[in-house]
Chain A
Amino acid sequence: MSRFRWLAVFVAAMALVVGVAACGDSEDSGSGSSGSGNLSGEVAGAGATSQQAAQEAWIANFENENSSATISYDPVGSGGGREQFNAGGVAYAGSDAAISEEEGELKAAQKRCEPGELIEVPAYVSPIAIIYNLPEVEELKLSPETLARIFNQEITTWNDKAIAADNPGVELPDTRITPVNRSDESGTTENFTEYMSEVVPQVWTYEVSGDWPVKGGEAASGTSGVVEAVGAGEGAIGYADASQAGELGIAKIEVGKEFVEPTAEAAAKILEESPADKELSADKYMFPFALDRKTESEGTYPIVLVSYLLACTKYESAGEAELVKGYLEYVISPEGQEAASENAGSAPLSASLTKKVTPAVEAIEAG
């Protein structure tokens, strides 16, 4: 490891110490022991691949702070993570979708946590960027309708009238459009299709699904595959985590009266605008969001992926409870969110949201 990396880890660890100390002071909750560096034991988690980079950063920083603690995260996918969590195989899980009644998952999760309660907190918010490969076009603006018509293959060339209308004064080439989608099932696809089907249902008539529904497009596996495919083909357009876009052009999406870029602030803002999903919040420590994708408020970017952490309020052993609590506290803390933002390009949770979900994590105890 390079000296710089050690330095970064050290700085992050110091930030953590200072941050937790500050927390303990202000809350006076008496739980000052958690996170103060003496946690030990092993805790395993599993779930969404989207969280992988963030989890790696969290685990590295957390273990650095608590040298005798071992946290693991197996990026098996959201479905696999929920399954393992419900079966009691892992102590916490990452999921790109809020847990629902489908296939009895919610009931199974609640049962797993008995006599405690199920915790579901947003931990990872990532803006999904629309990336395109047109060397001569520096700035591209797209309305939701044009975007959906490009991805359902109605618009096939870049100099189409609809795109020209969104970009007055920009000279568009007559290149054929190659829409690129994920070939594997993914939360990114699910959130992107959900956005289109909510905002422009008259154009995007497909069902919301993690599997790309339109046949005949270019498909590539994983975020890196999509970025690679868009980079390789002139006239290609795709969707990927904003942090992975690299050198490619990023389209601005029309929200209300303006065109917004997928920045961390703009992505985090949508969680503030969105109400809780009443249907899915079965317990008081569950915070599923019904994302308000149709928002027209200024500076909000609506194409985001929100990934949750699942945990229980009660764990059998005191050691496990302490460790899960300490780890989750770190994850949702401003320091943890900042670490994820640096390593994974996610949007940190806003202060008000952190305050809202903290009681859920604080409630973890041995039982």
Chain B
Amino acid sequence: MARVDTTTNAGQLLAAASGGRRRVGDRVFSNTAVIAAVTILALLAGVAIFLFAEGLPAVTASASELPEGKTFIDYVAPLAFGTVLAAALAAIVAVPLAVAAALFLTHIAPPRLALTLGYLVDLLAAIPSIVYGLWGIFVLGPAAVPVMKWLEETLGFIPIFEGPASTTGRTMFVAGLVLAVMILPIVSAVAREVFSQTPRKLQEGALALGATRWEMIRMTVLPFGKSSVISGAMLGLGRALGETMAVTIILSVSGIVTFNLISQANPSTIAANIALDFPESSGLAINALIATGLVLFAITLVTNFAARAVIARQNIE
């Protein structure tokens, strides 16, 4: 807030200096900025209103009228579970990898190599998600079949690797890995940005006290970047929650709730379910799909607010 006041003051000072009137350029700029801000809010409100208005009939409808003859809560619960499971799996895999990659690029790799590699990591974000999906079913899925079989045989006592292992590779395990690759550039870009801003004097101080490079990173870079990495992870999570095409293509969905990651029966996700069922739906079934969209909207909103809260806390510090 304080910052806003100073700029206003500066603007008034400038205006006073130029003859007591704000310049045309200033007015055009400020009006354009206000319109842009309001447009974004209006769009967001429009989407929210649409989801509420179109979703409400399904939320209030009785079980017999809805698809699969379930109440809306029973209908959406497995989907929400699958959505969160897939996104969480992606984040668990992607975040350590992204942090490690960012550390390598900012503190270990020679600058010229770091620049090139940095571009390449960012390039991962430019691949369309449907291509990731195709890569998932044609390459990663078949390649993961023996891995999943091994997981079942050796780690089958852990519920998530209970099996029986899928023979086609279209599992939550593979979908999670593909999502992890997809969110990797987002998380790594945020981490890279903040790691490179670690104050030089802190790093040099640690090294001067006799710290090894790893100790220096552990004592200065990681604490400095911690909250940014968390918020980056949540942005990535947000992307994974809403990802549609890749999951739609890869996942063998079965509408059940299970933590078993390697079997052929997987929970679906909200976005994938909408993509799969919308084309042949009509009437109340469409309202139900839109209402699940509202639930996804809420989940993503909560994730993003959490990310913002972490960033805000870091700024205060």
Cross-interface CB contact of A215 among B169, B265, B276, cutoff 8 Å? B265
A219 to B175, CA, bound (A): 14
Of A34-42, A78-86, A299-307, the one contacting chain B is A78-86
In A38-80, the 8 Å CB interface with B consists of: 49, 75-80
Q: Are A187 and B280 in contact (CB under 8 A)?
A: yes
For residue A19, CB closer than 8 A to chain B, the reply is: no
Q: Are B249 and A225 in contact (CB under 8 A)?
A: yes
Taking CB atoms, residues of chain B closer than 8 Å to A218 are 166, 168, 170, 252, 264-265
Min C-beta distance of B263 to chain A, whole Å: 8
For A215-250 the 0/1 string (1 means CB < 8 A from B) is 111111100010011001111100000000000000
- Which partner residue on chain B sits nearest A178 by CB separation? B167
For residue B283, CB closer than 8 A to chain A, the reply is: yes
Min C-beta distance of B49 to chain A, whole Å: 22
A103 to B65, CA, bound (A): 11
Interface size class of B (residues with CB under 8 A): 20 to 34
For residue A334, CB closer than 8 A to chain B, the reply is: no
Taking CB atoms, residues of chain A closer than 8 Å to B277 are 184-185, 211
- Which partner residue on chain B sits nearest A187 by CB separation? B280
For A187-202 the 0/1 string (1 means CB < 8 A from B) is 1000000000000000
Q: Are A79 and B169 in contact (CB under 8 A)?
A: no
For residue B233, CB closer than 8 A to chain A, the reply is: no
For residue A355, CB closer than 8 A to chain B, the reply is: no
- Which partner residue on chain B sits nearest A207 by CB separation? B69
For residue B253, CB closer than 8 A to chain A, the reply is: yes
In B260-279, the 8 Å CB interface with A consists of: 264-265, 268, 275-279
Taking CB atoms, residues of chain B closer than 8 Å to A216 are 254, 256, 264-265
In B47-75, the 8 Å CB interface with A consists of: 67-68
**Residue from B67, B168, B254 with most neighbouring chain A CB atoms (10 Å):** B168
Cross-interface CB contact of B264 among A76, A83, A217, cutoff 8 Å? A217
Taking CB atoms, residues of chain A closer than 8 Å to B189 are none
Q: Are B280 and A77 in contact (CB under 8 A)?
A: yes
Q: Are A80 and B167 in contact (CB under 8 A)?
A: no
Taking CB atoms, residues of chain B closer than 8 Å to A229 are 168, 170, 252
Taking CB atoms, residues of chain B closer than 8 Å to A211 are 67-68, 277
Q: Are A176 and B279 in contact (CB under 8 A)?
A: no
Taking CB atoms, residues of chain A closer than 8 Å to B169 are 232-233
Q: Are B168 and A185 in contact (CB under 8 A)?
A: no
Taking CB atoms, residues of chain A closer than 8 Å to B167 are 176, 178, 232-236
For residue B137, CB closer than 8 A to chain A, the reply is: yes
Taking CB atoms, residues of chain B closer than 8 Å to A210 are 280
For residue A186, CB closer than 8 A to chain B, the reply is: yes
A183 to B252, CA, bound (A): 7
Q: A217-B265, A228-B137, A232-B142 are in contact. Are A79 and B280 (CB under 8 A)?
A: yes
Q: Are A79 and B282 in contact (CB under 8 A)?
A: yes
A225 to B138, CA, bound (A): 11
Min C-beta distance of B284 to chain A, whole Å: 8
A215 to B264, CA, bound (A): 10
For residue B141, CB closer than 8 A to chain A, the reply is: yes
For the complex with contacts A215-B265, A234-B167, 14 further pairs of A-B residues with Cβ separation under 8 Å are: A77-B281, A79-B283, A178-B166, A183-B253, A184-B276, A184-B277, A187-B280, A210-B280, A218-B166, A221-B276, A229-B252, A232-B169, A233-B167, A235-B167
The 6 closest A-B pairs by CB, nearest first: A79-B282, A233-B167, A233-B168, A77-B279, A184-B276, A185-B280
B residues sitting closer than 8 Å to A (CB atoms) are 67-68, 137, 141-142, 164, 166-170, 248-249, 251-256, 264-265, 268, 275-283, 285
